[in-house]
Amino acid sequence: MADKKARLTIDGLDEVIELSVYSGTEGPDVIDVRPLTGLGLFTYDPGFVSTAACESRITYIDGDKGILLHGGYPIEQLAENSDYLEVCFLLLNGELPTPEEKDLFVSTVKRHTMIHQQMTNFFNGFRRDAHPMAIMVGVVGALSAFYHDSLDIDDPHHREVCAFRLIAKMPTIAAMCYKYSIGQPFQYPRNDLDYADNFLHMMFGTPCEAYEANPILAKAMDRIFLLHADHEQNASTSTVRLAGSSGANPFACIASGVAALWGPAHGGANEAVLQMLEEIGDEANIPEFIKRAKDPDDSFRLMGFGHRVYRNFDPRAKVMKQTCDEVLAELGIENDPLLKIAKRLEQIALEDEYFVQRKLYPNVDFYSGIILKAIGIPTNMFTVIFALSRTIGWIANWSEFHSSPNKIGRPRQLYIGPSKRDFPK
């Protein structure tokens, strides 16, 4: 039921249009504009920045206040007290698991970590220097050719099985993308390891010797997964929902999310941070680049500062900064040239009046890029890890979409092309 009514008067129409207004548990009210279609009217909202395209119980963001909630729980509390797989359970089920439920969830994920052996042949079709995201889009989309026993999107059990398979297999696929690019043999997953430990094992282990992940680095990796797990109706999540609305299988929908995430304006942001640091090159060049960043006529921008959604400090960045400091201290690499540039830029952004007034604080992409570089993960793998992390948000939204009555997405447009005209004789 609508909580309130809005009345709209339009020049040229004799009647006043009454529209329902709905209130969520958090956030702004929304006006139901569907009745306008019957009058031959659409709303105009480029980028959908003022449009609620769905109802969701999964994640809530208040960008002005710097709030991010998963199932009502603040991201800072989850990062402090939980781990990635527990947050996966929360996003899928709406509640934190009991100890028994978590044990069962983790053990089920571990039983799905391997991929079909024939899928390894897919990698040989790619060039060794192909971007890992190009490989991931193809391999994730191909999962439906091997796991077609659970593709009934109307069956809750099938949706659950797909969720487990995706959560479990994405680290395996991501690590294989890396191993293929450097010519090393694939490392099979080890189900005796935790989720983040296992990913680092598949990334950096070799058949020649055992690999044991540093606990600080494994914790940092788990934090990166957790802090990127979901972020409301962003471009890639909306893409997954839209693809899902056509009835496409879940693996194809997640592949569409991977493709949307690939863009530098979305998932490629932490990769852009490292490219910026390399462009600056030396601490001595920082004043020149800061001057350029303040110049509105200069195309140079400081990457990893400020956020489109958050008008305050990104709540994930607070946790990521702490993790970044822990990793750098553990590895003792504070003198790495690029990391020294990054730490100096961080100091300037937190102290310089220009950045403080505009709330251009370091965001989660800034710190995650530094952490991933410190761990030894190459820049072109950053977005792959983001995709791995965000898979749970995508599949949770996809599953939520199919758990209630839905219809295929069909955005409208404001047509500004030629009117009807006859073909010239």
Percentage with pLDDT > 70 across the chain: 99
pLDDT at 150: 84
Same domain, 41 and 126: no
Tokens in use for 355?
């950045």
User: Which tops the pLDDT comparison, 301 or 1?
Assistant: 301
Q: Are 214 and 201 in contact (CB under 8 A)?
A: no
Q: Which residue would you say has higher pLDDT here, 208 or 14? A: 208
Catalytic residue, from 83, 194, 197, 365: name it. 365
Domain assignment present for residue 257? The answer is: no
Residue 307 annotated to the active site: yes
Do 199 and 97 belong together in one domain? yes
Query: In the predicted model, is pLDDT for residue 1 greater than 80?
Result: no
Closest to 356 measured CA to CA, from 272, 294, 422: 294
Provide the pLDDT for residue 305.
82
Q: Is the pLDDT of residue 372 over 80?
A: yes
Q: How many CA atoms lie within 13 A of 227 on its CB side?
A: 25
Quick one: pLDDT at residue 346? 85
Across 353-360, average pLDDT: 85
Note whether 112 and 169 are within 8 A (CB).
Answer: yes
pLDDT, one tens digit per residue, over 16-61 is 888 889 899 998 899 888 888 888 888 888 888 888 989 999 999 9
Q: Could you tell me if residue 330 is inside a domain?
A: no
User: What CATH code is carried by the domain that includes residue 231?
Assistant: 1.10.580.10
Within this chain, do residues 95 and 213 fall inside the same structural domain, yes or no?
A: yes
Task: Specify if 222 maps to a domain.
Answer: yes
8 A C-beta contact, residue 394 and residue 248: no
Whether the predicted pLDDT of 362 surpasses 90: no
Residue 173 domain flag:
yes
Residue 80 sits in the same domain as residue 224:
yes
Indicate whether 340 belongs to any domain: no
Q: What is the pLDDT of residues 59-82, one digit of tens each?
A: 999 988 889 999 999 999 999 999
Residue 89 shares a structural domain with residue 223: yes
From CA 53, how far away is CA 366, in angstroms rounded?
30
Amino acid at 344: R
Q: Which residue has the higher pLDDT, 299 or 231?
A: 231
Domain of residue 231, residue span: 72-236+386-403
**Cα–Cα distance measured from residue 366 to residue 344, given in angstroms and rounded to the nearest whole number:** 12
Q: Is 116 a residue whose pLDDT tops 60?
A: yes
pLDDT of residue 2: 59
**Is the predicted pLDDT of residue 373 greater than 70, yes or no?**
yes
Pairing mode, strands 73-74 and 16-22: unpaired
Position 290, amino acid: I
How many structural domains comprise the chain?
A: 2
Mean pLDDT of the chain: 91
The backbone region for 130, taken as left when phi is positive above 0, alpha when psi lies in -120 to 50, beta otherwise, is: beta
The answer to whether 253 and 401 have CB atoms below 8 angstroms apart is no
Going by pLDDT thresholds of 50, 70 and 90, the confidence category of residue 15 is confident
- Average confidence (pLDDT) over 336-350: 84
Rounded to 5°, the CA angle 325-277-304 comes to 65
Answer yes or no: do 10 and 151 share one domain. no
Residue 313 vs residue 146, higher pLDDT? 146
Q: Is residue 102 part of a domain?
A: yes
Which is catalytic among the residues 222, 307, 314, 402? Answer: 307
Residue 33: CATH number of its domain: 2.20.28.60
On whether both 159 and 198 belong to a single domain, the answer is: yes
pLDDT of 312 above 80: no
Closest Cα to residue 317, out of 326, 306, 328? 306
**Does residue 112 have an active-site annotation?**
no
119 and 176 assigned to the same domain: yes
48: left (phi over 0), alpha (psi -120 to 50) or beta: left
pLDDT of residue 366 exceeding 90, the answer is no
395-to-143, 154, 257, 339, 374 alpha-carbon distances in Å? 14, 14, 10, 35, 30
Q: Within this chain, do residues 40 and 113 fall inside the same structural domain, yes or no?
A: no
In a domain, 369, yes or no: no
